[in-house]
Structure 1
Amino acid sequence: MSMRDLSKRLQMDVADLRSEVEGKSEPGLGVIGKIARELSLPKFAFFMSRLPELDSGLPDFRSDEPNETQKSRQTVDVIQFAQGVQRTAIELANEPARDLPQFKATAVQDLDAFAFSARNYFGISIEDQRDARDAKAFYTLCRKKIEDKGIYVLHASFPSEDGSGFCLAHPEHPVIVVNTKNQTRARRLFTLIHELAHVLMGKSGISDPFIRKNAIEKRCNRFAGAFLAPKAFIHTLLKNATPSKHPDTDDVAWVSRRLKISQEASVLRLEQLGIFEEGSHSSWLAIVKSRGGNPDYSEKGGGGNGAPPPQEKTKLARYGFHFAQVFSPLLATGKIDPINLYRATGLKPAYQKAYFDYAKSLTSDELLDLDLDDE
């Protein structure tokens, strides 16, 4: 990070910052505090004789060559939150993920066949998708079934410029984080399955499924498309209706509602399968951009009568099902206390029991109609 980069993030004049940092024997504590906050570091780190050990950064798979990149303070905070959950699970949890399908990064593989076998492994049926009320309901069902296999799926809001989601790969305690910033549930679903591909590949990093500049991202996207829209079942999911080969935006929106996946993922997948003509995605993208933006980013938050949703529901939305399954017994048996659970994961003691009890109480029928709003 250059001095100019840092000054912009601190909203300071670059000359003033340079004077503080380089022109004095020791910068003022006010400046150090601002820098520490922006970089998500403790102030004492700047006074240490050696650089402290920090969690490694995440490669950015939106680049030609996935390398670490600068990220906003909010994004760094979310990464540290996810690393705290994973680190605590590695240390204490008794319920690791086992026997997950292995997705090879470079091997010649029938991706459509592998994606469908992975879908079967997670128990997500075509009937589940066809009969789901909408994309929101299908997203919750997919998330629950993925978490049932030992994968943490967390929600957090961070600038969309820093990606749609990320994965912290681990053979027993993998973590997926889905960015809730503006993404519709249909787009979140594609992000979730794209990050699942990273988990099965063992590749940690930040992604946006619709920025595909390297071979890994292209493979993960092909996996996600085949997982969510299997070739053999497209017509079943479309309820045997035949879409136009030359789709307009209404056609794409209709297909998206039937498949319960994002509009962009729908047009890409159907073009890939030859149901839409070649170039349909480019044409659709040009039209939606001319009309003001991608509809997959237009979802507004809940609200209803203005009353906030119950905390146990917002905590379930943020932390998910597997987190409750793992940490509830650890808390009950004293392997971790409420304060240390809060320090490790950010889950406040006041909400721990209500969230854990709520997550355990949900029946299969209730899951079908579960409506989880973001905090």
Structure 2
Amino acid sequence: MQIYNILKQVREQRNFEIADVANASKISLSSLEKIESGEKDPSFNQIENLAKTYGVQPYLFYDANSPNIPEGLTDFRRTTPSPAKISPAGFRRIWTSEAIAGFANQLLEVTGYQRPPWTNEPLRGNISLERATKLRNFFDSWFSNKELGFGFLGSDEHCFLSGLRIFIELTGITININDAPPEDFIGFYNSNPNETPSIFVNRKIASKKAQLFTLVHELAHHLLDKDGISNPFRAKNQIERRCNEFAAEFIAPMESFQLLVEKHISRSNQNAIELINIISSKSLLSRYATAIRLKEAGYLKDADLKQWIKINSNLYFALREEKLEESESAGSGGQVHAKRLSELGYLPTYLAATAVRKKIIDRIDVQQGMFLAESIQDKAFSLAKRRVEVAEA
């Protein structure tokens, strides 16, 4: 098979628009169209760039057989989940996450890391509301003994999210909190052979509260063993609704949520929007999740909820607005190594530090394997080690 036919087939199997591929691969659209039509032969650099864009090895383009690329993650944003059609930038974030998870899995084996005994039970079971309540009680008990040692700074939701992600990671799940095109996904759960399971949370437009909800939503995907991309704030099928119910019950258990509402409802003057804003400000839920929870608890009429959703129909604008408000109150971000640690995950960073200390791998291996620059490795290793050791105790 001619290379131009293979290049076109690979693009079509990835469900990429040719203009998106041109932009991602730094090849002009006219040149790429000529390459795919057979009018022009691709250069070596163009082949390399296209391979990176498609997430394949360059030799695939020279195979005599028709390419057979595995389907991407399931798209749970749809009413009927099916293989996802997302941008090259979105796929690149998935492949990066897979690379980190694969590196972490290798390090688990070579370092002989033993998970702490408390990790044997908490993430087993279904995603019933009862299960969410039990898991929250377990986490609260665990976190109350660790929070001071972690030394987290910031809002309640930031500290809660930071503690929860370490709690989950020590069970063997890699968590990446990073930027990605929001139109592609707000989060995803992925599990492959020879990789640790991984959860990705898109921080691009999401506030800490929205990130927290997304994290627990994706944890529910892990419990269900359902790999795929999600937008928890637009649940269109039963699986997404179940994951949202689990997340809401974990983050805002109904009994304590009702007590909170009763304490503050008089301040709302029976105004639905004001009630949503007040309860969101007093809880770990974003405004969108608060609106749904108030409806579930019987404090918001169906018509009021529909009106609020209509007003906030531009989901990305609503999420971004909440994030901007959060940024204004919090000020500038943290140090570079701490930010990178959040992007890559505590588990792979701690395992990399252990492997370097034992001279199993070197710092270049770490940079290539999990994209942690040598210049910030020492600080990232130190922070990950300190917090993981607190979590293990």
TM-score (norm 2): 0.77
Match of 1:368? none
Cα distance in 1, alignment partners of residues 199 and 318 from structure 2: 24
SS at structure 1 position matched to 2:280: helix
Cα distance in 2, alignment partners of residues 200 and 291 from structure 1: 27
Gaps of 5+ in 2: 1-10, 148-153
Q: What is the CA deviation profile of residues 59-113 of structure 1, one whole-angstrom value per residue up to 9, with x for unaligned ones?
A: 1111223222222222222111111122122233034664453454xxxx7x221
Cα distance in 1, alignment partners of residues 314 and 239 from structure 2: 30
Q: Is the 8 A contact 1:60 1:66 kept in 2?
A: yes
Tell me by how many angstroms 1:18 deviates: 4.2
- Partner letter of residue 259 of structure 1? S
Match of 1:119? 136
1:134-173 matches, within 5 Å, as 134-169=156-191, 173=196
For the pair 1:268 / 2:320, whether they are aligned, the reply is no
Match of 2:151? none
For the pair 1:340 / 2:365, whether they are aligned, the reply is yes
Cα distance in 2, alignment partners of residues 306 and 268 from structure 1: 29
Task: Name the count of aligned residue pairs.
Answer: 358
Cα distance in 1, alignment partners of residues 68 and 22 from structure 2: 24
For the pair 1:21 / 2:36, whether they are aligned, the reply is yes
Q: What is the CA deviation profile of residues 255-304 of structure 1, one whole-angstrom value per residue up to 9, with x for unaligned ones?
A: 11111211000110110121222233321122234899315554249699
Using a 3 Å threshold, how does the CA distance of structure 1 residues 320 and 32 change in structure 2: closer, same or farther?
closer
Aligned residue among 5, 12, 17 for 1:5:
17
For the pair 1:316 / 2:341, whether they are aligned, the reply is yes
Using a 3 Å threshold, how does the CA distance of structure 1 residues 309 and 102 change in structure 2: closer, same or farther?
closer
Tell me by how many angstroms 1:229 deviates: 1.2
Q: Is the 8 A contact 2:166 2:388 kept in 1?
A: no
- Partner letter of residue 130 of structure 2? A
For the pair 1:87 / 2:112, whether they are aligned, the reply is no
SS at structure 2 position matched to 1:294: helix
Cα distance in 2, alignment partners of residues 299 and 53 from structure 1: 41
- Partner letter of residue 293 of structure 2? R
Using a 3 Å threshold, how does the CA distance of structure 1 residues 354 and 182 change in structure 2: closer, same or farther?
same
Using a 3 Å threshold, how does the CA distance of structure 1 residues 178 and 330 change in structure 2: closer, same or farther?
same
For the pair 1:330 / 2:352, whether they are aligned, the reply is no
SS at structure 2 position matched to 1:162: coil
Aligned residue among 62, 70, 80 for 1:65:
80
Tell me by how many angstroms 1:125 deviates: 8.1
Q: Kindly report the root-mean-square deviation, in angstroms, between the aligned alpha carbons of the 2 structures.
A: 3.8
- Partner letter of residue 303 of structure 2? G
SS at structure 2 position matched to 1:342: helix
Match of 1:228? 251
Q: Is the 8 A contact 2:132 2:249 kept in 1?
A: yes
Using a 3 Å threshold, how does the CA distance of structure 1 residues 18 and 53 change in structure 2: closer, same or farther?
closer
TM-score (norm 1): 0.80
Which has the higher mean CA deviation after the structures are superposed, 308-317 or 216-225?
308-317
Match of 1:257? 281
Cα distance in 2, alignment partners of residues 303 and 327 from structure 1: 35
Gaps of 5+ in 1: 366-375
Cα distance in 2, alignment partners of residues 340 and 207 from structure 1: 32
Aligned residue among 271, 286, 303 for 2:310:
286
Q: Is the 8 A contact 1:62 1:213 kept in 2?
A: yes
Q: Is the 8 A contact 2:337 2:379 kept in 1?
A: yes
Cα distance in 1, alignment partners of residues 234 and 124 from structure 2: 24
What percentage of residue pairs aligned between the two structures are identical?
25
Using a 3 Å threshold, how does the CA distance of structure 1 residues 92 and 343 change in structure 2: closer, same or farther?
same
- Partner letter of residue 78 of structure 1? R
Match of 2:235? 212
Tell me by how many angstroms 1:34 deviates: 5.0
Q: Is the 8 A contact 1:58 1:204 kept in 2?
A: yes
